[in-house]
Structure 1
């Protein structure tokens, strides 16, 4: 089976960066949690393998959060009754992704109090790891207003005091003491500055070997990304997965074979990753978008392109996914590409995206029947914006495409 060389640390970092888009006011929360937890683990003398697992779990601990309101709820209260839901979702996402499945249990319990973890079916090392993520997560919520300023040096004793008061209840006593010892250094807090944070993660990642993943594992990583995106709203549920299936189906009928078909499918899965930045209130708005709201929507394909370059930069996936709103008149977005610059594969993803979107219930309209979708696609071809060859295949295979889009 065909393999791709993937930097797994860089992939986790990129996924964490995409999760940052959900909480615009708390950018890099996952990375700060990861670095804090890793520094406490080093204080405890944990081995390199456990520290790496902890770092990756910390970066992805909120992978079950796609909606801005849920992110706000988690940020505004040190304990929120609804917190467990995103832990359960995150565990499910990661268990379905073999390259990252080893992080699933840590994510499942990262909002569980230490006193309750004693009854969980976990070994002690897992209890400590997941509870350390919880400790770092709550500490980050307390330091958030002061990050990047000298004020954090005045406020950090209160954060340590909070942790100590929760020793034995929310947090393991040994973790609290190690946290207090590590946090006594000003560098512990000053390293949370966004500029320094990225440097530290890059330095840590430079010592990690790339791994060879078969395309099934790469597809599982892409599916993880897509499930997080599509969970933004029930109106977009499974949108990316269905776009990927339609794109693969069309590509095969246009003569594409082998690895190229797999990469087109992966591009379809990942085309909307940038939509994590878009508030669900915009996605679910039943009426016409304002100019500002539409501008927010328009930037998502560029964000997709930039995020995917970090993981799949050696492949055409970022371009095929990032160009899904370009058109053949050079009037699309975000790059205004002309026809000779738009690969057939990107044109396939574009048509698949349009077809599935119209076949899906949205906040502003119901699902369209197949004949109306075909009529619209024909009009776009006549206008010169969509590829006639790709659309002709959709017309010939309309019923099959509609099944892939809806069933």
Structure 2
């Protein structure tokens, strides 16, 4: 069974990079929120374990945001009437992942006014943690125009004053007082520089013990992020989950078992994590993509590969997930890898991905019937793109795989 010691801090940091992609560029919003919340918690003399907890909650606080248009709404104003929806989704995702379920309450209420939080049946500490995330999140919205510039130092007093004007309504007075104290230091603002931010996060991680995770815990962590990806479009709902199920069963039919089988499933769950960078306008487009739109789509598998290298560096998961658009002729993307570079697991995930996508309704076509899908796969085999043995294995139990693909 898959069991390994994992650096949970580095894993959360790496996976938060995938959430950053929703803003199209890796703008590190989650990391900045995390570090500012960490420093304010330090000013309040919270225990180190609580400070690390709010740091991790900050990096994951927007895990309910998958669509770029929603991200823009959240970062354009201090309050947005639609903010509640992503907070609820994020809390649901975290609650379903035992490893991170303890972060769900503050994520659920990280856009709730302090005056409203006081009326809710929450324990005082969860209430304060949620409001600290809200405060750090809104600090970041106000500082973004000045990032990576010394002009943040001239803008900082205005940011502090604006937020202090919301004491007791949006934010807890004690949080704003602590913020004002740490914000008086130029270092608080200058530490948001991308290089310094990453360096500080790595430094903090050195003092956090690794966690022993079995297969179930790793799968649930992967499933959390697969749900974020699949939420980008109603057309991709449960795509990653179903690809993972198909890939796992195909691998088992080939006699793959144990840890390798479990890693195939995790690779299937995470194969599209890089797609968070792709605009939903492209994913949902009913017609042909332009050259620029195709380029945006094609980079997602490379982003998948690089993100997963940070989490699963000692396994084949990054390769199996990141190579799912390669083909045997060496004409896929992003590496143009030919058959010699594609092991059986790569070939399995590629077939599983195509099979499930063809069985699912997409904006440019309806769900295809099973016999049409098999014809399509065999054409790709004849063209030298897909592995004949994998397609034949799938065809042996085609009805069962079709049910998995459609969620029947």
TM-score, with normalisation over the residues of structure 2? 0.99
* Equivalence for 1:219: 219
Confirm or deny: 8 A CA contact 1:320 1:345 kept in the other structure.
yes
Tell me which residue corresponds to 2:120: 120
Counterpart of 2:286 in structure 1 is 286
**1:25 Cα deviation after fit:** 5.5
Q: CA RMSD in A?
A: 0.8
Equivalent positions of 1:20-59 (< 5 A) are: 20-24=20-24, 27-59=27-59
Could you list the runs of 5+ residues in structure 2 that have no partner in the other structure?
none
Taking the aligned partners of 2:346 and 2:173, their CA distance within structure 1 comes to: 54
Match of 1:366 in 2: 366
| Structure 2 partner of 1:328 | 328
CA distance in 1, matches of 2:104, 2:14: 18
Secondary structure class of the residue paired with 1:99: coil
Map of 2:228 onto structure 1:
228
Structure 1 gaps, min length 5 = none
Residue 167 of structure 2: SS of its match in structure 1? coil
Residue 270 of structure 1 deviates from its aligned partner by 0.4
Answer yes or no: is 1:104 the counterpart of 2:104.
Answer: yes
Q: Give the superposition deviation at 1:174.
A: 0.5
| Partner secondary structure for residue 157 of structure 2 | helix
Tell me which residue corresponds to 1:65.
Answer: 65
Q: CA deviation at 1:2?
A: 3.8
Residue 194 and residue 35 in structure 1: after superposition, are their counterparts in 2 closer, same or farther (change >3 A)? same
Question: What is the rounded CA distance, in whole Å, between the counterparts of 1:24 and 1:76 in structure 2?
Answer: 15
Structure 2 counterpart of 1:250: 250
Structure 1 equivalent of residue 260 of structure 2: 260
Please list the CA deviations of residues 201-257 of structure 1 after superposition, one character each: whole Å capped at 9, or x if unmatched.
010011111111110000000100100000000000000000000001111111111
CA distance in 2, matches of 1:160, 1:287: 48
Give, in whole Å, the separation in 2 of the partners of 1:2 and 1:194.
34
Q: TM-score, normalised by structure 1?
A: 0.99
CA distance, structure 2, for counterparts of residue 394 and residue 162 of structure 1: 61
Q: Which runs of 4 or more aligned residues in structure 1 lie more than 4 Å from their structure 2 counterparts after TM superposition?
A: none
After TM superposition, give the deviation of residue 347 of structure 1 in Å.
0.5
Separation in 2, partners of 1:44, 1:144: 25
Q: CA deviation at 1:390?
A: 0.3
- Structure 1 residues 34-91: Cα deviation after superposition (integer angstroms, max 9, x where no partner): 0001001111111001000000001111000000000011011110000000000000
**Equivalent residue, structure 2, for 1:395:** 395
Equivalent residue, structure 2, for 1:12: 12
Equivalenced residues, count: 407
Q: Which moved more, 1:156-165 or 1:1-10?
A: 1-10
Tell me how far apart the structure 1 counterparts of residues 356 and 145 of structure 2 sit (CA, whole Å). 42
Residues of 2 paired with 1:272 and 1:373: CA distance?
Answer: 21
Tell me the secondary structure at the aligned position of residue 4 of structure 1. Answer: strand
Task: Tell me, yes or no, if the aligned pair for 2:286 and 2:364 is still in contact at 8 Å.
Answer: yes
C-alpha contact 1:244 1:267 (8 A) present in aligned 2: yes
1:24 CA displacement: 2.6
Mean CA deviation greater in 5-14 or 231-240: 5-14
Q: Say if 1:26 and 1:144, in contact at 8 Å, map to a contact too.
A: no
> Are residues 25 and 260 of structure 1, via their aligned partners in 2, closer, same or farther at CA, if it must alter by over 3 Å?
closer
In the aligned structure 2, how far is the partner of 1:56 from the partner of 1:353?
32
Is 1:301 the counterpart of 2:307? The answer is: no
**Alpha-carbon offset, residue 26 of structure 1:** 7.0
Query: How far apart are the structure 1 equivalents of 2:5 and 2:216?
Result: 13
Partner of 2:171, secondary structure, is: coil
State whether residues 22 and 68 of structure 1, in contact with CA within 8 Å, keep that contact through their aligned partners in structure 2: yes
Structure 2 distance, partners of 1:266, 1:343, is 16
